[in-house]
Structure 1
Amino acid sequence: MARSDWRRPASHPYEEGCVRRVRMTVAYDGTGYSGWQHQRNAPSVQAEIEDALYRLTGHSVTVVGSGRTDSGVHALGQVCHFDLPDERFPAVVFKRALNAFLPPAIRIMDSEETNDSFHARFSAMAREYRYLIKREADMTPFDSGRVWVVKELPSLELLKAHAAEIAGTHDFTTFTAAGDMCERRHRDIYVSDFSVEKDIHGAEVLVYTICGNAFLYKMVRSIVGTLFFLVLGGVPATETARRLAARDRSQAGRTASAHGLYLSRISFDEKEYEWFEHLHPSMEMPSEDREREDSDDEA
């Protein structure tokens, strides 16, 4: 969908009774949490931060995140905002003060003053995820719950060829898990690529990087699992293209573990991916579908 069709208001009003907005970047180990968003009878990252804010300020506030990561999924660059009814605390104080209340698995990386022109979810232009995979033989005690563990790593060249089929504007119904509530399944994928990196111990880590305007329910993990096992079997990249075009959930393979997935970065730069529309002309959408879907839920 062309960015001109993203119906974004110029401002996002403060919560009733509030006079200011604070923006924060958050990192967290999602192993012990049900995800970012509030869940009944289960711990969430959002609830932990809201509780810490209440203990610090005495106000019950709603923390709005850029992406609602699923249970067990991690983040290095989650962005959120909250509104406050007073100006007692300078924005820069929240990083240090909230970290004193939060568990070690959740860290505020920065905090700054913003205004009603910014909204953590609706101002986001792109969301980037990284998925980490390691060989079982290379695992250390510090990798548990933080990577997807496999017996062997398949061909990097073939992985990159399969990943290239994901880039562009597509209907991602094939890679959407049951339970997704979005009516429109088209998404713009700016980056889809595999690389091999070294961890701090010198072991190889297979990294899948994907960046797009938004994501569907468990979409990234479904893509990773499907591509990985297709490549492990030596299947050519045309098979990924065929399965994607089929728009059929039964064509997807195994969904990869939540442990390897990280929300790595949120981009608010309107110019960063402007080139995309020139390389991938937008698909024509029915007028009733042109309201942008910001559902990057539990990717």
Structure 2
Amino acid sequence: MRYFIELSYCGTAYHGWQTQANGVSVQTTLEAALTQRLRKPVFVVGSGRTDAGVHARQQFAHFDLDEPILLSDALVYSINCILPEDIAIRTLFPVAPNHHARFSAVSRYYQYHITRYKNAFEPGLTYHFRPELNVELMNEACQILMRHTDFKSFSKVRANVTHFRCRLDFAYWQRSEADLLTLHIKANRFLWGMVRTIVGTMLEIGQGRMTLEQFEQLIVAQDRTIAGRAAPPNGLYLMEVGYPANILEQRVVYG
């Protein structure tokens, strides 16, 4: 039996999603809770890897079991009681054996949050960036971004991928009344470090340190060394992972 988990987490205390030797990860913490509750070893596969300090409003993972389990609100509640406060399972549901949390996903939607003023009640949840920004110019840069499909210039150099092509569905900046500037960006896939590097580069544009012509030239150059520095991880949120409707047909939200 294969099961999908829908969860969310605050990434501040974790060294990213993926299990690693140098720190606590979301994946390791989730596996430990499932193993304890189900009383058998459980190994999960996520829809994608988030870096250290990155958050997820919606993340999916799958795991396999030899025997079916009785799904209920009580089961989800009991696993959430084992998990730390900064990780929460929303639902757990069966899928076909060939449905894969990563490879069956058709889209990912991220937001990046920036504030000009420090907020003592939200440490590590937004990027506190003081300079004034030309948001109109940054949105023009988003329109340039939408015209392209190869984003090698925004990928970390050691990214283990066969190609750097992504299909963007939308990309735009939006300022709220509560002093929050947010990048909304959705694509079929994202490269390692891609969103944070796009944000860092667009902050250069917003400050007048890079022209729109230079921005398009660096995309075409396919050279990470000429793009801006990556923005800090604490402002980045994985908001939504999209799947075909047939995969989610048995999804029931508990609680």
- The TM-score normalised by the length of structure 1 is 0.78
Match of 2:174 in 1: 195
Give the superposition deviation at 1:118. Answer: 2.0
2:60 partner SS: strand
Pick the aligned partner of 1:184 from 130, 154, 163: 163
- Aligned 8 A contact 1:162 1:236 in 2: no
For 1:45-64, list aligned pairs within 5 A. Answer: 45-64=26-45
Bigger Cα displacement from structure 2, 29-38 vs 171-180: 171-180
For 1:204-243, list aligned pairs within 5 A. Answer: 204-233=179-208, 235-243=210-218
Pick the aligned partner of 2:10 from 29, 49, 58: 29
Question: Structure 1, unaligned stretches of length 5 or more?
Answer: 1-19, 271-299
1:43 partner SS: coil
Pick the aligned partner of 2:230 from 231, 255, 261: 255
Pick the aligned partner of 2:141 from 162, 166, 177: 162
User: Within the alignment, does 1:175 sit opposite 2:154 as a pair?
Assistant: yes
AA aligned to 1:154 is L
Q: 1:144 to 1:181 in 2, by over 3 A?
A: same
Match of 1:109 in 2: 90
- Aligned 8 A contact 1:170 1:188 in 2: yes
Give the Cα–Cα distance (whole angstroms) in 2 for the partners of residues 259 and 30 of structure 1: 8
Match of 1:148 in 2: 127
Give the Cα–Cα distance (whole angstroms) in 2 for the partners of residues 237 and 197 of structure 1: 24
Match of 2:79 in 1: 98
Deviation beyond 3 Å, 4+ runs, structure 1: 91-94
AA aligned to 2:3 is V
Give the superposition deviation at 1:139. Answer: 2.0
For 1:73-88, list aligned pairs within 5 A. Answer: 73-88=54-69
Give the Cα–Cα distance (whole angstroms) in 2 for the partners of residues 80 and 197 of structure 1: 32
Give the superposition deviation at 1:150. Answer: 0.7
AA aligned to 1:193 is Y
- Aligned 8 A contact 2:126 2:234 in 1: yes
- Aligned 8 A contact 1:22 1:91 in 2: no
Match of 1:13 in 2: none
Q: How big is each residue's C-alpha offset from its partner over 1:219-275, in whole Å with a ceiling of 9 and x where there is no partner?
A: 1100100011122116442322111011111210121000000011001147xxxxx
Match of 2:251 in 1: none
- Aligned 8 A contact 1:94 1:111 in 2: no
AA aligned to 1:158 is L
AA aligned to 2:237 is Y
2:62 partner SS: strand
Give the Cα–Cα distance (whole angstroms) in 2 for the partners of residues 257 and 171 of structure 1: 23
- Aligned 8 A contact 1:153 1:206 in 2: no
- Aligned 8 A contact 1:126 1:211 in 2: yes
Calculate percent identity across the aligned residue pairs.
33
Give the Cα–Cα distance (whole angstroms) in 1 for the partners of residues 162 and 99 of structure 2: 26
| Root-mean-square deviation (Å) | 1.6
